[in-house]
Amino acid sequence: MKISLKMPDRLQARSFRAAACWILYTTLAACQITDRANEEDPDDLAYFPPVQTTPTVSSSQPVQGGDLASVQPVTYHNLWDRIRASLSLQSTYSHPRVNKETARYAGNQEYFDLISERAAPFLYWIVGEVERRAMPMEIALLPFVESAFSSNARSGEGAVGLWQFMPSTGRAFGLQQDWWYDARRDPRAATAAALEYLQTLNEEFDQDWLVALAAYNTGSRNVRRALRRSGFLIGEAEFWNLPLNSETRTHVPRLLALASVIADPSAYGVELAEMPNAEPLSYIDIGRQIELEQIASLADLEIACVRTLNPGYLRWATHPKSPQQIAVPKSRKELLERGLAELDPSRYIKWEHYTIQPGNTLNGIAQKFGTSAETLRVINNLEGSTIIAGQPLFIP
C-alpha cells in the first residue's frame, strides 16, 4: 500500500510545530480530536488538530541483549528514546534503496507531526508487544508505513486499519468482522494479529525479517514465486535480490528509511515531539452494550474522542455480544466507572420504541427516523423487509 508523504497545503508546519510539541496530548487529557470515523482514503493525510501532553511518567525498560539479569535497567521518559534503543536492523539502513526512501522523509516535519499525533494513544502498547515477542523494534513502526497510523485507513483492495489487513487474512488470524465491529480497525486486536502473522512469516522464511516483511506486504505465495524464478531456496536469497513487484521492493526500504530517521531525526532535519513512555489509556469492560454517546457523556469527553480511541466499533454503540470494552484516557477512568455505577442499565441504550402501523414499510420507517432499513433489520433481528402491524421496532 502506497502512502503519500505530501501534506495538505493548509498545513503550515513551522507555525504549528512549536505548539504541537507542547500540546501533543490533548487527546489523552481532554480528547478534543476531530472525528475521522468516516475516513476511507489512507492517502488522505489531512491534519489532526494538535493535542496536549500530560505530565510524563517514567518507565524502566531492560537493555536489549546480553545478560539481562546483570544489567541495570535503563529508564526512558520519552517513548521515542525507548524505540531508538531497541532498533536492531541498522545494518540495512545504508543500503542505496533505503537511502533513496530516506530522502522522502528528510525535512518533512508535517508528516512527523501528523504521525506522532495519530500514534500517541496507541504506540506505547505496540512497543511493549514487540518487545515482549523479542521482535525487531522496526516492526513497531510498520503502521506508519502501512497506513500513516490511521485506524480508518482503507486501501483500494479492501485492506483496513493500522496494519492493513485484508478481510480473509484478518479472519485467518482471529480478527472479528461483523456489522457492529471490525477488529482490523481495533489497534490492540489488529496489532496482536499482525505480530503473530509476522512471526509466522519469519519462521516460514528462515528467520529473515526483511523477507518476512516483504511477504507481509505482497503475500507469502508471491515471495515463494520470486524465489523460484530466481532459482533460490528459502534462506539462500537476500530480500534485495528478489524479483518482487515494485510496491514491495519499495515498501520494505521505506520502513527501514523511516527507522533510520527516527534513530537520528536531527540528522534529517526533523523533530519528534516527546511522547511519554507510559500507557495513556485505560480499558474498561462495560459488560453490556452501551451507546458511545453515553460513554462520552459519563466520561466528560467529546464523542469524536471516544470514536478515535475505539475505532473498532462501526456503529453508535458497542457490540451487543462481544466486545464491550471501551478505551478512555486514564484521567477519565474513575469518572466513567463512577458514572456507570450510578447509571440505570436501562439507559445504556437510548433507543426509541415504535409500534408498526398498517401500511408501514421498513424503508418508510427508516426514512422517517433518519436511519436505514439495514440498521433496523439488524437491531431488530429481522430476516427480510416484511413487518407486521402492531409489532414494536427498536429505533436507534
Of the candidates 379, 326, 386, 329, the residue with the CA atom closest to the CA atom of residue 356? 386
> Which domains, and CATH codes, for the chain?
13-268 (1.10.530.10), 286-347 (no CATH), 352-395 (3.10.350.10)
Which cell numbers in the block locate residue 159?
485492506
Dist CA 88 CA 375 (whole Å): 48
Q: Is 157 a catalytic residue?
A: no
Q: Is the pTM of this model over 0.75?
A: yes
Shortest CA distance to 262 belongs to which of 119, 132, 162?
A: 119
Given 110, 117, 146, 274, the catalytic residue: 146
Q: How far apart are CA 68 and CA 91, in angstroms?
A: 23
- Report the C-alpha gap between 276 and 273 in whole angstroms: 10
**Residue 59: its H or E element:** strand 59-61
Q: What is the pLDDT along the chain (396 residues), one digit of tens a residue?
A: 433 444 433 333 333 333 333 333 444 544 633 333 333 333 333 222 233 333 334 444 544 444 444 556 788 999 999 999 999 999 999 999 999 999 999 999 999 999 999 999 999 999 999 999 999 999 999 999 999 999 999 999 999 999 999 999 999 999 999 999 999 999 999 999 999 999 999 999 999 999 999 999 999 999 999 999 999 999 998 999 999 999 999 999 999 999 999 999 999 999 999 999 999 999 999 999 999 999 999 999 999 999 999 999 999 999 999 999 999 999 999 999 999 999 999 889 877 778 899 999 999 998 988 889 998 888 888 888 889 898 878 888
